[in-house]
């Protein structure tokens, strides 16, 4: 009886979904022909794609109940054996190629387009389903809920949209070991979260400032120079563990390159979601997949992995005019979570070993500190509903010794 009820419910659910779809088609057509609303405005107003609007505004009188799928309603589409064989062969070839590290549906689709340029591949979800049915893949696990960042107003939108530029995330990775060698291997990873996406890794001699600057400079030369670099708060990047209001060597290097540093929230890895996900890909698809015998083998296959990643993402440097020197304003950003100062009954954040106090109502929320080095002022921003508001301004003098070493930057 319970099974029959479920079947009936699914049928009713399908009918209701079909009715809703037909109503949307009719509404779209009516808005365009009867109310003379532009296609772009209809797409935004009704929450439908531009392709949907184009399809249902071809003529004033259309068959809104039309079914263009090409296979029976209520039945999953059946793909022929040739399609299944092609997908299986591609997957097998990718798995057998030591220079390939990506074998999921996206990688199979890319390889299909290279091998069969005149034949459209099935949709990504279908490729994944076929691979699963053929027993050559397993479904991806669902990621953890990242709702806390949104609930606590992490300034994601401000950093990636409102600041108005390309943001590169860079981070050292944990120590790795290979058999027969007691000395650890260290790596640095780079990642662009926004299109054109890119992931790239290099082995470094240690988790040092020199290594960070050398590899970041190499990245700028090989790929592109971003507008911002988002980094962790380790001593190699943020500098002195005790000195106040210092401009570290990494800050100086980036600012001289006309790139603005953004420091992540200390001990909150999810605020570096892109690079943390990047490092996870490195571990799963590269490091844990191969039993390395030597450092030379690591370096050789790491280059294979980087090339495979470039092929997978289809990265191409964006076309963008270089900024004029006069347009560059030397700034440093700090993402911080407001802590509670119990004795003072207020909130505070730590910026370069200086406590900046905020109203108690901001405790546990995230804020963004914007340090204008020319004006020597710090602005604290709070993001809510994709709007960034300055909630505090204060004088924030550069350490005198740092100031002496950064005159060229400050002249601008």
Question: Which of 7-11, 162-166, 324-328 shows the highest mean pLDDT?
Answer: 162-166
Burial call 91-109: b when 16+ CB within 10 Å, e when fewer? beebeeeeebbbbbbebbb
The pTM assigned to this predicted structure is 0.72
> According to the 3-state scheme, what is the secondary structure of 258-302?
CCEEEECCCCCHHHHHHHHHHHHHHHHHCHHHCCCCCHHHHHHHH
- pLDDT, tens only, 43-74: 888 888 887 888 888 877 777 776 554 555 54
- pLDDT at res. 53: 86
Alpha-carbon span 365 to 362, nearest angstrom? 5
Residue 364 reports pLDDT greater than 50: yes
> Domain-by-domain residue ranges, the chain?
20-65, 91-133, 151-314+328-412
∠ CA 54-55-59 to the nearest 5 degrees? Answer: 90
Q: What is the pLDDT of residue 136?
A: 77
Instruction: Tell me which CATH code domain 151-314+328-412 carries.
Output: 3.30.420.10
Query: CB under 8 Å, gap of 24 or more: what pairs does 393-401 form?
Result: 394/356, 396/245, 396/351, 396/354, 396/371, 397/245, 398/245, 398/247, 398/373, 399/243, 399/244, 399/245, 399/246, 399/247, 401/246
């Amino acid at each position: 009886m319970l099974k029959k009820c479920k079947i009936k419910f699914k049928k009713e659910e399908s009918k209701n979904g079909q009715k809703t779809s037909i109503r949307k088609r009719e509404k779209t057509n009516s808005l365009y022909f009867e109310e003379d609303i532009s296609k772009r405005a209809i797409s935004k107003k009704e929450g439908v794609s531009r392709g949907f609007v184009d399809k249902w505004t071809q003529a004033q009188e259309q068959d809104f109940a039309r079914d263009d799928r090409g296979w029976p309603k209520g039945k999953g589409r059946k793909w022929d054996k040739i399609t299944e064989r092609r997908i299986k062969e591609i997957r097998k070839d990718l798995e057998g190629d030591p220079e390939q590290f990506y074998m999921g549906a996206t990688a199979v689709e890319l390889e299909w387009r290279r091998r069969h340029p005149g034949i459209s591949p099935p949709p990504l979800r279908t490729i994944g389903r076929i691979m699963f049915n053929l027993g050559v893949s397993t479904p991806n696990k669902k990621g953890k809920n990242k709702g806390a960042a949104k609930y606590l107003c992490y300034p994601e939108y401000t950093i990636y949209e409102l600041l108005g530029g390309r943001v590169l995330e860079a981070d050292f990775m944990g120590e790795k070991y290979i058999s027969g060698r007691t000395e650890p291997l260290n790596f640095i990873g780079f990642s662009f979260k926004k299109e054109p996406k890119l992931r790239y890794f290099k082995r470094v001699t240690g988790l040092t400032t020199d290594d960070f600057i050398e590899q970041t400079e190499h990245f700028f030369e090989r790929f592109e120079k971003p507008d911002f670099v988002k980094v962790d708060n380790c001593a190699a990047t943020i500098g002195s563990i005790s000195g106040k209001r210092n401009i570290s060597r990494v800050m100086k290097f980036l600012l001289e390159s006309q790139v603005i540093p953004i420091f992540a929230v200390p001990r909150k890895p999810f605020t570096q979601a892109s690079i943390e996900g990047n490092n996870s890909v490195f571990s799963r698809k590269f490091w844990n997949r191969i039993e390395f015998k030597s450092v030379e083998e690591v370096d050789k296959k790491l280059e294979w992995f980087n090339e495979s990643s470039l092929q997978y993402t289809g990265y191409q440097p964006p076309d963008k005019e270089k900024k004029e020197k006069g347009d560059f304003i030397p700034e440093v950003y700090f993402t911080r979570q407001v802590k509670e100062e119990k004795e003072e009954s207020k909130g505070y954040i730590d910026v370069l070993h200086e406590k900046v106090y905020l109203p108690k109502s901001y405790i546990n929320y995230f804020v963004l500190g914007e340090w204008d080095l020319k004006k020597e002022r710090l602005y604290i921003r709070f993001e809510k509903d994709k709007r960034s508001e300055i909630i505090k301004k204060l004088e924030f003098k550069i350490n005198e010794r740092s100031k002496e070493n950064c005159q060229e930057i400050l002249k601008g």
